[in-house]
Amino acid sequence: MKDMTDMPASHRPDRQNAPAWWQTEVIYQIYPRSFQDSNGDGIGDLAGIESRLDEIVALGVGAIWISPFFPSPMADFGYDVSDYCGVDPMFGTLADFDSLLAAAHARGLKVILDFVPCHSSDQHPWFVESRASRSSSKRDWYIWRDARPDGSPPTNWIGEFGGSAWTWDDTTGQYYLSVFLSEQPALNWANPDLRTAMLDAMRFWLDRGVDGFRVDAIIFAAPDVDGGDHPPNPDWTPAMGPARSQLQTRLAHQPGVFDVVRDMRRVTDSYPDRVLIGETSGTLNDVMPYYGADMDLFHLPFYFAMLSTPWQADALSALVARYEAALPDGAWPTLVLGNHDISRIASRAGVAQARVALTLLLTLRGTPVLYQGDEMGMDNATIPHNRVQDPWERRVPGLGLGRDPARTPMPWTDIDHGGFSTTEPWLPLHLPPEGSFARQATDPGSMLNYARRLIALRRAHSALSQGTYRQIHVGPDVMVFERRAGTNRLVVCLNMSATAQGVSASGVPVLSSCGNRVEAFVRKLVLAPNEAVILDVSPGG
């Protein structure tokens, strides 16, 4: 255990202190291309986000995470960065960013950026220099290897978007590693100069005042490039996409990754009150080490298993139980339910379950990250063939892997282009089943207003934002659990079926997804189909 006395109060682990903001606040994820367009080019931008801050505050969240807005050729819509310390003109200027940051802070909102450390764009000056010659001073900033004697790539590794994870480069006659697109060459964190340059990029934004980072695709930071081929995945089915046909035994979660994260955390911790969040895809065993033995790696390593769990109460309860049991001492949970890479939760769980799903996300122990639009019940859009944008869908079509359906613009109003833009947006506008934001804002019974009440309840009850989790009842259709902090005790009852369900729980209903309940106290709760109810069971509650 570290000596706490020489650490600033804000850096000490939570058990010694009041909880940190990143433990109690809800984080709201913004996909900037699709949030709000301010200049009529059909693409969202930073000034657009700033113009919508009041709506974000009204939702009750305490932080925003903004997906990449750095200069980029947009081969992977900003996850191919060509300058880590700038703003793409499409999204605005650095001055626009500073203005957004100040406006967010003035409203008490924290701002988290997306840091993309494992690959740059092939247009980044570092890569242009690296590929120019084998003796370039930046050659080793990327991962170059000779072909095998037959000319094939150095290993059999398949890239995340299909095809080989290696790209041939004619100029210098070698392959470079590219785990996603060829336009996203992998950065070599084993090179000390590259490491310094990347950590400096983090400092650039921390110095400007950002409150932390969500770190992209971190599991690939230290590939064992000379370790050989990947074995086949015995559980693979084609619907999983080509990359999952192998076990990434050499590419993902290699020991060097943890040193990289430790360095990132040191930089983060040299500023007060910041947060480091990891896109740590993998099994429970893969993810837990990302907290660090001394809680010195990610504050919040994402756990994604809910995205691939059937929407059934028993399966979800079992997942939460396994997760809770695996968390090391001092680790703060964060279970993911949606983001810009996956089918909308309202489509995965079913539109009728959208409020139940939102309730689960916002009442589980740990930090919820709410993806833009999920508060309104956005479901997947159908993207016509000629409007497909996502490179993954273009490369591996027809398997449902494409991410455009969850990336359509925010439908703010019912007027042309949804109040998102004055012109046809980059992806078609799609309205959720309950209608636009404006429509939902004026309807007290809307999903949006339910989300606001739910988040307000979470803020009002320490049991929900900080309390313990205890499973009370599980069946195939109903999930019931208690959240408790001292005398503050709430019981969350979720009906994941389309029929009414009796639950032996008693208390004062403080929230229902189906509108106001008239009972002051219930002895035996009967949940309506697809209903979520939160009972206050505090003494005198």
Is residue 341 part of the contact set for ligand NOJ (CB under 6 A)?
A: yes
Task: List the strands of the sheet with 532-536, edge to edge.
Answer: 468-474, 478-485, 488-495, 532-536, 508-512
E strands, 357-506, are 369-371, 468-474, 478-485, 488-495, 501-503
Pairing of strands 27-30, 63-66: parallel
**DSSP type of residue 63:** E
Q: Rounded to the nearest 5°, which phi and psi values hold at 230?
A: -90, 140
Let me know if 80 is a catalytic residue.
no
Residue nearest to ligand NOJ (CB): 79
Picked from Ca ion, ligand NOJ, none, the partner binding residue 41 (CB below 5 to 8 A depending on kind) is Ca ion
118, two tokens: 């494992």
Q: Does 122 bind ligand NOJ (CB under 6 A)?
A: no
Q: Name which of ligand NOJ, Ca ion, none residue 217 binds, using a CB cut-off of 5 to 8 Å depending on partner kind.
A: ligand NOJ
Of 382 and 422, which has the nearer Cβ to Ca ion? 422
Which residue among 45, 216, 482, 536 contacts ligand NOJ (CB under 6 A)? 216
CB of 277 to ligand NOJ, least distance (A): 12
Neighbours of 435 (CB within 10 A): 18
Burial 196-212 (b: 16+ CB within 10 A, else e): eebbebbeebbeeebbb
Compute the Cα dihedral for 194, 200, 205, 206 and give only its sign: positive
Q: Catalytic residue at 279?
A: yes
Does 116 help bind ligand NOJ (rule: CB under 6 A)? yes
Nearer to ligand NOJ, 372 or 513 (CB): 372
Spell out the residues 6+ positions from residue 323 whose beta carbon is closer than 8 angstroms to its own: 284, 303, 305, 333, 335
Report yes or no: 131 and 169 within 8 Å, Cβ to Cβ. yes
Catalytic residue among 88, 114, 211, 279: 279
Among 22, 28, 127, 180, binds ligand NOJ (CB under 6 A): 180
Q: Name which of Ca ion, ligand NOJ, none residue 28 binds, using a CB cut-off of 5 to 8 Å depending on partner kind.
A: none
CB of 79 to ligand NOJ, least distance (A): 3
Residue 214 β-bridge partners = 114, 277
Of the residues 216, 341, 379, 404, only one is catalytic, namely 216
Q: Residue 37 touches which of Ca ion, ligand NOJ, none (CB < 5 to 8 A by kind)?
A: Ca ion
The edge-to-edge listing of strands for the beta sheet with 275-278 is 300-301, 275-278, 212-215, 110-115, 63-66, 27-30, 369-371
Task: Please report whether residue 126 would count as binding ligand NOJ according to CB under 6 A.
Answer: no
Residue 390 within binding range of ligand NOJ, rule CB under 6 A: no
Q: Footprint of Ca ion on this chain (CB under 5 A)?
A: 37, 39, 41, 43, 45
70 lies in the site for ligand NOJ, by CB under 6 A: no
Closer residue to ligand NOJ in complex, CB, 161/481: 161
115 binds ligand NOJ (CB under 6 A): no
Interface positions, 20-39, toward ligand NOJ (CB under 6 A): none
Active site residues: 216, 279
- Catalog residues that contact ligand NOJ under the rule CB under 6 A: 76, 79, 116, 180, 216-217, 279, 340-341
